[in-house]
Amino acid sequence: MFKFSALLFAAVAVQAIFAISTDESWQRQQNHVQMMSNKIREVADDVSNSIQNVQADTNKGRRALMELANEFAHNVQNVVYEMQQVAQSTQGEDRKVLQQICQELSETTYSVQQAMNSEPNQMKNKLKEQVQKIATEAEKLTRHLQQAQKPQRDQDDHMRAMKRAMMDLHVTVKKVQIQIRNQNKNVQEVSNKMQELANQMNMYTQNVQNDDEQAVRDLADFVQRMSQHMNNMVDKIQREANDQHGQTKQIMHQVANKMSEMRTDLEKAANTHGNTQQKATELKQQLERVMRDCSAEMQKLMQAGQQSNDQEGQGIKALIKNVMDEGVAVAETTQSQLKMMKK
């Protein structure tokens, strides 16, 4: 009788500990999503305040504004595609909310594309309006997740997918913020910022404790997302390389190939097998290394631009700046996520 009572007590104690652990984990995830939503709103507000400073009076300035708008619309559509994939694997209210958000974001893409045919001030106002809409949809998703029932321990993939979607929304508005911030900066200044972020990454990865299973899973998700953004950067370099020739073309293809290898390394790290500590170590090492190596490859691209004639060099410098703007946006977003993961 005593043994039975002891076993029953032990079982109840384990169940209670599990319930507390699950509650704490769920609360952490909800807090994380709320902080991500707040950060998106913060960036959107900054874009709204600064977008009027975009110089679009000249043909060059107008072209830059159109490129910014076009890329924003393209990035929003990519987020829609990812969220649609998640919606297909869900049911009930989750699917309904996701489909509604996808519809709103699709309308954002269409609205911005239509505004590209208007005069600069109207285009700026439309961008301002739609960037704010991104923040509104992120808040809508956050409210839904906070009202959702706590999932079972082995059924939290939906929350993880939503956090990835929030990160994508963050990068989308962050890229606009970075492009506006860097509009009057030269390529070297942007490169210096990217180098600074690469050197800081080690400090931010330390926010993730190696034995924190949930944080390590989140880190793997963020590394996976970074690999996808790096793939976008590689595609841009390869497209520009096809229009070049000689040594410049060769250098650009070499850089694209090297960055493609980095992307593969990030994907492998995101899918590392082993215990939580082994995964954490591999993820941190690869993230820090790729940031450093990516910055070094940008320096090679800059040298290629300097070796080209004036017209080709300007095109390469514009490409480098665009690619580095994306790199800075992803790096700053990743650092924001890592700060939120500190216990």
Task: Check: CB of residue 183 under 8 Å from CB of residue 246.
Answer: no
Residues 6+ apart with CB under 8 A from 325: 175, 178, 179, 182, 190
d(CA 222, CA 266): 10
Cα dihedral 317, 323, 329, 333 sign: negative
pLDDT of residue 215: 85
Tens digit of each residue's pLDDT (9 = 90 or more) over 246-268: 888 888 899 999 999 999 999 99
What CATH number does the domain located at 185-343 have? 1.20.120.20
Tell me which residue of 294, 342, 293, 331 sits closest to 197, measured CA to CA. Answer: 331
Tens digit of each residue's pLDDT (9 = 90 or more) over 174-189: 999 998 888 888 888 8
Q: Dig out the tokens for 128 from the structure.
A: 């301002």
pLDDT of residue 322: 85
- Please compute the mean of the pLDDT values over residues 297-326 and round it to a whole number: 77
What CATH number does the domain located at 28-148+156-184 have? 1.20.120.20
d(CA 105, CA 204): 31
d(CA 265, CA 258): 11
Phi-psi region of 267 (alpha: psi -120 to 50; beta: other; left: phi over 0): alpha
d(CA 29, CA 215): 10
Cα dihedral 295, 225, 162, 270 sign: negative
d(CA 102, CA 82): 10
Domain boundaries, the chain: 28-148+156-184, 185-343
